Structure 1
Amino acid sequence: MRPIEHLSRVEAIQALIGTFPPLEPRIFPVREAVGLVLGQDVSAQVNLPAVAVSAVDGYAVESSSTGLASPQRPVTLTPGRFQWVNTGSPLPEGCDSVVMVEDCSEDGGNLQVFRSCYPGQNTRFPGEDVMAGQPLASKGQELTAQSASLLIGAGVTKVLAIPRPRVLFIPTGDEIVSEDVYAKGSKPGDVPETNSILATRILGEAGFHVHVHPEIVRDNRSLLEEAIERGTQEYDAVLISGGSAKGRRDMAHAVLKGRIIFRWLLMRPGRPAMGASVNGKPVLVLPGFPSSSMVILFTLVVPFLSHLSGRAPATYFDVKGVCGYECPLLQPMSSPPGMEEWAKGRAVLLDREVRVYPLGGGSSSLWSLAESDGLILVPQDAVELPKGAPVRFYPWVRMELDRRCLIQGSDDPAFQLLALGTRRRGCEVVIRRVGSMGGVMALSRGEAHGATCHVLDPESGRYNVIVDRLDGEGDWTRVLLFRRQQGLMVAPGNPKGIHHISDLAREDVRIANRQHGSGTRILLDHLLVSNGLSPDQVRGYDSVCVSHGDVAMRVLNGFADAALGIRSAAMAMGLDFIPLVEEPYELVYPSRYRGHPAMEALVEMAEDPEWRSRVEAMGGYLWP
């Protein structure tokens, strides 16, 4: 078999459908067939109701006995000429109608009837709901709980239906370890096995049960061959996690060679996905990175398993009834030409309009995966999408956008802690770490509810002068959250003897820097100039990180000898710290958002004693 390579996701699904027909239907008890697709037409076996029954609570009578009964001239029936019946009870012999309980009353064992009856009044006749032989459900129809109730009522106890496929998920990789092993202490390079959580949850919500292989299969050809061989004998479909790329330890391609249906999809993430046929059973190889695996599960595995179940191929979102809606991009977005892209995204409500933006982090990032609200679909023919361009957004979480605010700007762990505290008040603060300048500029363009900043103006020596310049109408509210210490972070014990900015120009010193537009980078540039230095004299100046934690990790792991950052980040990593400046850290937001629930919670939380106590323990913070 020669595989099809470099094909679209839709073409891959069609290739699988063309190779594997739906599963063979089998007999199920009606109760167990709910949710399955019927394999044949179904007709009623008996009348429903089977006999004449009462349609109300009341008294069964012979209609002629009620004569011309009325409230003014009630008819009295003696015992034996009436009988109490509940709704659905068969009519007693000799009775042809039912008097509603509201139209009569018992009196000393007799029944006073205040309204005359006609034959068949308040009764249901045999076959009135369903007649024997009447068609009830058709082949290819999904059996709902309501339909199952109808079938059982019509005497149907068993049906022919297409079973749900039995799915086996096999995690693979030498670097993959169980969560217990990882938590107790793993070796460098080990990765906890988490893709099975995604597979069982996503496929479970789509109606498919997944069995996870009891062991992580190592990068050994014979072990993987054995697992696939056994899996295809016991299950209807096998999912392999990892091993689909071109690395030396990626065994899936070698094991499945000659049986591969397709390989390399024109989409991202998820491009290395692969499909094969082993023992007449489908084997799908999912990329090992979590985001890639998740997108393939949503958009390829669920549609194919739907097909095996006798349904039309439908994505996870279609199965769950999630209609992707069109909304504008908050920022420009690029996508590779000829590739369908499913980007992790977040949504915000700005000026009564829902806007979305992509999250970074790559396919391996668990943080961005957990932070995302859903997926942004970029079509295969789109390359450059400007700000405001309409895109299709598929959410997978419930969002209360009117209680969420977006803060763009400076990175700070104390502010992150403050934002997290607003959740206790039923709100959410979403942070985009774009640097102080990036945050203020985003605010000026209407792309955020607020910004955090600590921008030094080299000419005046004052902080956040840029806010005054951009707030032309004086409509922005400014809140000084705290002051913090900035300085040089160096390895424990300061082995390079770094004590001053001028030491950064030494030949034996390499730094880690922050991104353009961050307040920390602007401060570093100012300190270099003030000491007669230029960026060209500093090794590592172009080594960019997006947070204080990132630069601290570079120093801790020996990738840098020093970095400008805040004291709390140095303390968190156990680094030495040489203080240089003390700077204000402000929250800025348009006054029109003063009544926003999340903004109110944020400002109120800034006075919370518990938050302040935790911030003080972090070190390097002073209150205004």
Structure 2
Amino acid sequence: MTYKFKARLSSEWALEKPSGAVLPLSEVIRLLAAVDATGHIAGACKACGVSYRHGWGLLRNAEKEFEAPLLETSRRQGTKLTAFGQHLIWANRRVDARLMPTLESMASELQEELERLYPESQPRLRLHASHGFAVEGLMQLANGLDMLPLELRYRTAIEALASLDRGECDLAGFQVPVGEFEAPILQRYNEWLDPDRHRLIHLAVRNTGMFVQAGNPKNITSVADLVKPDVRFVNRQIGSSTRSLVGLMLKQLNIDTTRVQGFDSSEFTHMAIAAHIASGMADAGIGVETAAWRCGLWFIPLAKERYFFAVHRDTLNAPQMQRLLDLMKGEQYREYVAQLVGYDASCLGSVQTLEEAFGAAFTKSLPSARREFMIKP
């Protein structure tokens, strides 16, 4: 089928006054972010494609409604945002980061429903994966080319692998840390990974670590510092592999999670964690280096993680899967992943068995009955 359209959903927030009048904020937020980036109102208006008069009027009206200044202007330093203005744009970024996985998944579902209305429509590859920058880039590239697009559902790694096991998706994304925490994380997955039925497509190796505010005002240097009484931590959602990794690191140090202020909090993406900290709502969180860099945070490396797509062995030779593999191995996508801060694309697109990927660590993570079956001559 010809790719006729792409469904999109986006978040937009507004303020409703007691009178019932509604103040839309999307354009105001875009202008504030542009002022923050350019350092002056004229450049912000040009970047947003509005006249100076219109942009200035919007910002002044917003200041009137909020009863608070949004901008500070000086001859030497140009225009910058007030603390109030900064909080507004970080609140918007945090909302976007939280909602993005849900909106993208819903848009993908809507796209699928609409395409079913066309008699010539063909099945698409279904990808279930936790949010990641390499996955995000693959979706954008695949759906922007003349190929059958990917249908995306954001899921935790276990949810994705369980979906693959039930036949509800064609690719399941999951990550595994390199080193001492590899085996215990693999134990979380082994119920859904079968060395006979499944193969792995290697996506990337990425740096995972602690995000702290620029300058590291709380002097946080390791996971052990999360128990400091003045440190507020923001965690990933229940069921996520990152949350499990944090738990393993704390357990290794004999630290009860109840001693960590904020351990029971939940954010669904790396960018949401970073935005949470950049906006001053937390002091530390854990995620991939790319998110810390994009939000101007300091990054403390903790582990390297390999990210894979698990697939059924029998689907590897399907034309749709081969087109996706060709795309992943192509120069355009390789360059995209290589420019992500903290990502290594050297093994991108390679297909491996579970034993080739994990060796003894995978065998060790299996239940004893399955392990004995595998090692029989």
TM-score, with length taken from structure 2: 0.61
Question: What's 1:404 paired with?
Answer: 124
User: Of 507, 519, 526, which residue of structure 1 is paired with 2:248?
Assistant: 526
Q: How far apart are the structure 1 equivalents of 2:203 and 2:113?
A: 36
Which residue is 1:539 aligned to? 261
Q: Is the 8 A contact 2:213 2:297 kept in 1?
A: yes
Structure 2 CA distance for partners of 1:596 and 1:491, relative to 1, 3 Å: farther
**Cα distance, 1:573 vs. partner?**
1.3
Q: Find 1:415's aligned residue among 114, 125, 135.
A: 135
Change (3 A) 1:405 1:499: same
Structure 1 equivalent of residue 204 of structure 2 = 482
**Match of residue 110, structure 2, among 358, 365, 373:** 373
Alignment of 1:38-57 (within 5 A): none
Shift of the 483–394 alpha-carbon distance from structure 1 to 2, 3 Å rule, reads closer
Q: Secondary structure at the match of 1:470?
A: coil
Change in CA separation of 1:555 and 1:587 when aligned onto 2, cut-off 3 Å? same
Aligned counterparts of 2:128 and 2:304: Cα–Cα separation in 1: 22
Contact 1:433–1:547 (CA under 8 A) maintained in structure 2: no
Distance in structure 1 (CA, Å) of the matches to 2:106 and 2:193: 35
The one-letter code sitting in structure 2 at the alignment partner of 1:440 is L
* Cα shift at 1:473: 6.3
Q: For 1:410 and 1:618, locate their aligned partners in 2 and report how far apart those are by CA, in whole Å.
A: 17
- The separation in 2 between residues aligned to 1:473 and 1:535, in whole angstroms, is 34
Out of 543, 553, 559, the residue aligned to residue 275 of structure 2 is 553
Which residue in the other structure is 2:227 paired with? 505
Cα distance, 1:505 vs. partner? Answer: 1.0
Against the structure 1 CA distance between its residues 397 and 571, is the aligned structure 2 distance closer, same or farther, given a 3 Å change threshold? farther
Q: Is the 8 A contact 1:373 1:395 kept in 2?
A: yes
SS in 2 for 1:585: strand
Instruction: Report the CA distance between 1:182 and its aligned residue.
Output: 5.3
1:412: how far off? 0.8
Structure 1: distance between partners of 2:227 and 2:221 = 12
How many angstroms apart in 2 are the aligned matches of 1:471 and 1:372? Answer: 26
Q: Once the two structures are superposed, what CA deviation does each residue of 1:465-519 show, in whole Å capped at 9, x if it has no partner?
A: 5555534461111111111111001111111111101001111111111122212
Assess, with a 3 A threshold, how the Cα gap between structure 1 residues 597 and 551 changes in structure 2: closer, same or farther: farther
CA distance in 2: counterparts of 1:404 and 1:394, whole angstroms? 12
Letter in 2 for 1:405: L
Q: Is the 8 A contact 1:489 1:578 kept in 2?
A: yes
Matched, 1:436 2:127: no
Structure-1 residue corresponding to 2:23: 175
Query: What secondary structure, in the 3-state scheme, does the structure 2 residue paired with 1:373 have?
Result: helix
Report the 3-state secondary structure (helix = DSSP H, G, I; strand = E; otherwise coil) of the residue aligned with 2:183. Answer: coil
After TM superposition, the structure 1 = structure 2 runs for residues 132-531 of structure 1, keeping only pairs within 5 Å, are: 173-176=21-24, 179=27, 183-185=30-32, 370-373=107-110, 395=114, 402-423=122-143, 424-455=145-176, 461=183, 464=186, 469-472=191-194, 474-531=196-253
Residue by residue over 1:569-620, the C-alpha shift from the partner in whole angstroms, topping out at 9 and shown as x without a partner, is 1111111100011111111011232244443333222212222222222210
RMSD: 3.5
Per-residue displacement from partner, 1:502-549 (whole Å, max 9, x unpaired)? 001111111111122212111111111111112111111111011111
Q: Distance in 2 between matches of 1:507 and 1:532?
A: 17
Distance in 2 (alpha carbons) for counterparts of 1:598 and 1:575: 39
Q: Which has the higher helix share?
A: 2
Contact 1:488 1:562 in 2 (8 A): yes
Q: Identify the residue that residue 590 of structure 1 maps to in structure 2.
A: 312
| Cα distance in 2, alignment partners of residues 368 and 469 from structure 1 | 25
In the alignment, residue 407 of structure 1 is paired with which amino acid?
L
- Native 8 Å contact 1:452 1:585 kept in 2: yes
Deviation at residue 462 of structure 1 after TM alignment: 6.7
Report the CA distance shift for 1:550/1:598 in structure 2 as closer, same or farther (over 3 A): farther
> Counterparts of 1:481 and 1:487 in 2: how far apart (Å)?
19
CA distance in 1, matches of 2:313, 2:319: 13
8 A Cα contact 2:290 2:340, kept in partner: yes
Is residue 2:318 matched to residue 1:608?
A: no
Distance 1:494-1:396 versus aligned 2 partners, 3 A rule: same
2-structure distance, mates of 1:565, 1:477: 26
Give the Cα separation in 2 of the matches to 1:178 and 1:523: 37
Mark the CA change 1:474 to 1:401 in structure 2 (over 3 Å): closer, same or farther.
Answer: farther
**Cα distance per residue 1:159-185 (max 9 Å; x no partner):** xxxxxxxxxxxxx84421585x55433
Q: What is the percent sequence identity of the aligned residues?
A: 26
Pair 498,475 (structure 1): closer, same or farther in 2 beyond 3 Å? same
> Closer, same or farther in 2 for the Cα pair 1:496/1:517, shift >3 Å?
same
Counterpart residue type for residue 175 of structure 1: L
Aligned residue pairs, count: 264
| Higher RCO (CA-CA < 8 Å; seq separation 6+) | 2
C-alpha distance in structure 1 between counterparts of 2:302 and 2:134, whole Å: 20
Structure 1: gaps of 5 or more residues:
1-171, 188-217, 219-359, 375-392
